[in-house]
Every structure is written in structure tokens, then in C-alpha cells.
Amino acid sequence: MEADSIGEGRCGFAAPWVPGRALWWLWESWDRPTKPWDHYQTQGRRCDMKRGKWVLALLALGWILAVGPWVWAGETMDKIEKTGKIRIGFREDSIPFAFIDPKVGKHVGFSVDMAQLLVENLSKRFGKKIEIEPVTITTKTRIPMLVNGTIDVEMGSTTYTQEREDVVDFSLIFFFSETAFLVPKESPIKTLTDLDGKRLGGAQGTTNLKAMEDLARAGKIKPKEIVTVEGHAQGFLALKTGKIDAYATDRSLLMGLASKDEKPENWRTTDFAIAYEPYGYMMRENNSDFRDFVNNTILWSIKTGKFYEIYEKWMGPKGHTPIPMSQAYKDYLQLIVYPMGEEWWKKK
């Protein structure tokens, strides 16, 4: 984020958007309005104390009004126990992990079923029924809605990255995919160099879009255009209507998109990949007790076989979107499991 210069003789600063850092900045600004901190850079003449107090007052007011839900930031488990609800963010087009089934009009998928396991264990933990309050999110809104407290956890198909880890916490990795392209069956795109001169599409806020842009900047691909779309459904529509030549996202999601089409045989995914995508569930930072509970639910589901049952339902040979489980993936799942008590969910 670049500093916002506010004219000669005024303060130019980049106020960090993470509330904890914002409060730190406000505190330092109040006591030392002329000290050149990383997030407090003066331009021209120094700011006087009076102006520093005005900045403090305005930013404090804006923070209170805009980020009210953050009062729960460090108390996710307490919030769930007190309200009897957990607000979970689900995508509407992340097939087969989290999507809206038009037949029933609600979210379904692998991660939605995992969310049900999480809620069952939370109900045992608190000795009362905990209900899911589903919230529809997009690739653009998922992190902001998590950070500001609108949702308590995001459960879908989000790729773990260090950049995201700086803002949110991730669960254990529960799935591995890779960035590939969906193209018409007869498309000439078969290798990376075939992307040159083509119109490529990707969803905003995704690692897939970033991977394409990075390759283009490095000169490894020379597309005619990289088109940003709002979500996977819009990307597939752009591909079907000829607005783009190839659509990039995780291979597992591409297979889900194609399977939903009236003629899935008309589409194929490229054999080559441009990035690898480890999936995790996102939570707010500084909620280690909740993160541990989510992780233990994943591990418990693997140990009891429930994880494999859900996988079979959605991605098995006769599942919604068949995605073979590689031996390496099977080995990984067994390696991360550790001995757990039968009543691990009890409060210590």
C-alpha cells in the first residue's frame, strides 16, 4: 500500500489496515507525532500535535464504525459458545468443494461436509447444538470478510500462500491441486508456449491469476491479453462465448466446471501446470484454540475414515467430480495423523 500524500505541510502516511497494527500506529502518532515511523512518514514540514490528534480521532472513529465485528477477533470459541452459531464462508462456484446446488438451493460439497463434522464436534465440546450460519463469499471478499469478523472461518478451496498467512491463519493442508487451463477439446493449446498470443482468463484475487501475471512479466508466456473475471462461473461463461481462449484455475475446480456443463466431453484440461495449490481453511489470526480445534477435526476425520468417506462421495470414481487420490496424497494424510484421545474435543 503506497502512502497517501496530502499536500505540502501535511502528513503523508500509509495507515495499515490490520486493526492491531492500526492501533499501534495511532498510539505512536499520539505520543510522537513527528517521529518517522515505517507507517508514519512526513512530507514537507512536520505535523504538529494538533494535527496528529485530529488524525487520531478520525482514524479511531473510522476503525470503530468499520470494524465493529473485530471485538470477537481473539474470542472465536467464546463467540461460538455464547451464540450457538458459527458463521462459515462458502463459495458458490468452487466445485466440488463448496458450491450452491440449484436443486436444493444451498451450499454443498466436500468442504461443506467437513464443516458439518466441525460443527458436530463443536456441539460435543459445548454440550449444546451449534448451528452453521452459511455466508456466501467470493475470491475477492473472502479475506476481508474473515478479517473484519463477518465470518469465523472460510471453508472451500483456498490456496495457502505466505502472503495470505501474513494476514490470516491457515489450517493443516487438506488437499493438493495445481493451476492448469480449461480449453475446448479441439483447442491447439497443448504446451506452455501455445499460450502465446491467446486471451487467458483468471478470477480476481486468486493465486491462478497471479501465476499467469508473473509468467507474463517474466516473459515466459506472451498472451495477447489476461482477462480478470469475478468468479469461476463467469470465467467458464467467457470461455464458452469465445471471449477468452483458456481459463486458469485449480485443476480440480476446472474438472468441476466441465462436469457441470451440458456437454462435459467438449472440454479438457491442459496436461501442463503453471503452479501448485495446497488447500487450507482460513481463520482469523490469534485464535490458536479455534485453529487447533479445526486442525484436530481434520486429523480426527482422517483417523476415523470419515475424511475418506467424504472424499469418495465428492471425488471418488462414482462421485460428483472424480479426482483420483494419488499415492503421495494418501501417504501425506497418514503422515500428519498423530495419536488422539477418543474425547479429544473436551475442554482441557
Q: Where are the domains of the chain?
A: 11-66, 72-174+280-336, 178-275
pLDDT at residue 227, rounded to an integer: 98
Q: Measured over all CA atoms, what is the biggest interatomic distance in the chain, rounded to whole angstroms?
A: 70
Whether domain 72-174+280-336 has CATH 3.40.190.10: the reply is: yes
- Edge to edge, the sheet with strand 106-108 lists 93-94, 98-101, 106-108
Q: Yes or no: say if 175 and 94 are a contact pair by the CB < 8 Å rule.
A: no
- Residue 295's pLDDT band, with cuts at 50, 70 and 90, is very high
pLDDT at residue 99, rounded to an integer: 96
pLDDT at residue 67, rounded to an integer: 42
- Give the residue, 321 or 43, on which the prediction is more confident: 321
Containing 169, the helix (H) or strand (E) segment is strand 169-170
End-to-end CA distance of the chain: 42
Q: Kindly tell me the sign of the dihedral angle through the C-alpha atoms of 329, 331, 336, 339.
A: positive
How does DSSP assign 223-288, residue by residue?
Answer: -SEEEEESSHHHHHHHHHTTS-SEEEEEHHHHHHHHHHSS-GGGEEE-S--SEEEEE--EE-SS-H
- Residue 260's pLDDT band, with cuts at 50, 70 and 90, is confident
> Mean pLDDT, to the nearest integer, of 163-174?
97
pLDDT beyond 90 at 131 = yes
pLDDT beyond 80 at 305 = yes
> Mean pLDDT, to the nearest integer, of 229-249?
97
pLDDT beyond 80 at 247 = yes
Q: CA-CA distance, 120 to 297, in Å (whole number)? A: 10
What percent of the chain is predicted at pLDDT more than 70? Answer: 79
pLDDT beyond 60 at 47 = no
- Residue 348's pLDDT band, with cuts at 50, 70 and 90, is confident
Asked whether the domain spanning 178-275 has the same topology as the one spanning 72-174+280-336, the reply is yes
pTM for the model: 0.74
pLDDT at residue 347, rounded to an integer: 82
Integer-rounded Cα radius of gyration of the chain: 23
pLDDT at residue 162, rounded to an integer: 93
**What mean pLDDT is reported for the chain?**
84
Nine-digit cell string for 169: 491463519
Nine-digit cell string for 184: 475446448
Q: Give domain 178-275's CATH architecture.
A: 3-Layer(aba) Sandwich (3.40)
pLDDT at residue 22, rounded to an integer: 37
pLDDT at residue 342, rounded to an integer: 86
- Lowest pLDDT segment from 29-38, 189-198, 243-252: 29-38
Q: CA-CA distance, 311 to 105, in Å (whole number)? A: 22
pLDDT in tens, 78-129: 999 999 999 999 999 999 999 999 999 999 999 999 999 999 999 999 999 9
pLDDT beyond 70 at 13 = no
